[in-house]
């Protein structure tokens, strides 16, 4: 089944888990903005070199450069049987540009899956995250506890909480996400591409519901 999908949702809604499941079940190429930047830089494309100058300075990569890199990536042969875009588009300008370029390269978007989740639950999920400082293995103080408190099961490294995973920082991030995402959701709803899913149902049920929708 060939499907070109955009996956949207706030931090903590379960996009990472859903993306992994969908990639495997539907044989999709999973593409994130970070992956695209890293690949373009590694390959030394002109746009990759340009993006690197912004990234090295700690600046956001401008829309026109990001859009160009997306076009390069989606035009590759491995995307011809379907892809899952994660982390792009982030702005209305990017969404409109994606609509145009996807038609140019015959990779039009089939559907936009948006994972919804209440803010209190997002804060609970993300503020409970812990990460191993050595190997990067993920944990959660409620749902994925290590065998020994504060110690990684895999390598024995110390676990820590990322600076932006605290409750106050999260509320600011979520506010910005809602503000920037609302126009995108309205844009895709008008195009008849948007489908909302409640991510509170749990990873397995959520995957089953999305799968049924995609197969219908």
pLDDT of residue 84: 96
Q: How far apart are CA 132 and CA 63, in angstroms?
A: 33
Indicate which residue of 52, 124, 173, 195 is catalytic.
173
pLDDT of residue 113: 97
Most confident of 100-109, 137-146, 164-173: 100-109
CA torsion through residues 165, 171, 176, 178, sign = positive
- In this prediction, residue 186 has a pLDDT band, given cuts at 50, 70 and 90, of very high
Q: Which two tokens stand for residue 187?
A: 């844009």
pLDDT of residue 16: 83
Q: Is 173 a catalytic residue?
A: yes
Indicate which residue of 15, 71, 73, 130 is catalytic.
15
Indicate which residue of 38, 52, 76, 90 is catalytic.
90
pLDDT of 6 over the 80 cut:
yes
- What is the average pLDDT score of the chain? 91
Mean pLDDT of all residues in 67-77: 93
Helix or strand run (H / E) with residue 158: none
Q: Residues 24-45: pLDDT tens digits?
A: 999 999 998 878 888 899 999 9
* Whole-Å CA distances, 185 to 26, 46, 214: 24, 32, 19
pLDDT of 94 over the 90 cut:
yes
Indicate which residue of 2, 145, 162, 215 is catalytic.
162
Give the strands of the sheet with 194-198, arranged side by side.
29-32, 83-86, 4-8, 111-116, 194-198
Q: Is 130 a catalytic residue?
A: no
Q: Which two tokens stand for residue 55?
A: 């990234």
Q: Is 90 a catalytic residue?
A: yes
Q: Is 124 a catalytic residue?
A: no
- In this prediction, residue 119 has a pLDDT band, given cuts at 50, 70 and 90, of confident
Quickly tell me which residue has 């293995």 as its tokens: 137
Q: How far apart are CA 68 and CA 16, in angstroms?
A: 25
Q: Is 73 a catalytic residue?
A: no
- In this prediction, residue 87 has a pLDDT band, given cuts at 50, 70 and 90, of confident
Indicate which residue of 71, 107, 125, 129 is catalytic.
129
Q: How far apart are CA 157 and CA 150, in angstroms?
A: 8
pLDDT of 103 over the 80 cut:
yes
Quickly tell me which residue has 């300075």 as its tokens: 57
Report helix, strand or coil for 103: helix
């Amino acid at each position: 089944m060939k499907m070109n999908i955009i996956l949207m949702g706030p931090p903590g809604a379960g996009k990472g888990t859903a993306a992994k499941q969908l990639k495997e079940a539907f044989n999709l190429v999973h593409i994130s903005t970070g992956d695209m930047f890293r690949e373009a830089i590694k390959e030394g494309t002109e746009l990759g070199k340009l993006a690197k100058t912004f990234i090295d300075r700690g600046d956001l990569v401008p829309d026109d450069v990001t859009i160009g890199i997306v076009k390069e990536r989606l035009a590759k042969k491995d995307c011809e049987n379907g892809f899952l875009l994660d982390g792009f588009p982030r702005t209305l300008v990017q969404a409109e540009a994606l609509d145009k370029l996807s038609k140019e390269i015959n990779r039009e978007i089939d559907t936009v899956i948006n994972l919804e989740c209440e803010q209190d639950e997002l804060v609970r999920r993300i503020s409970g995250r812990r990460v191993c400082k050595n190997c990067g293995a993920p944990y959660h103080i409620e749902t994925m506890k290590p065998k020994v408190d504060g110690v990684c099961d895999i390598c024995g490294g110390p676990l820590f909480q990322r600076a932006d995973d605290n409750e106050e920082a999260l509320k600011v991030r979520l506010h910005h996400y809602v503000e920037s995402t609302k126009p995108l959701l309205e844009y895709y709803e008008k195009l008849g591409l948007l489908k909302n899913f409640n991510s509170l149902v749990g990873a397995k049920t959520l995957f089953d519901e999305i799968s049924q929708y995609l197969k219908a």
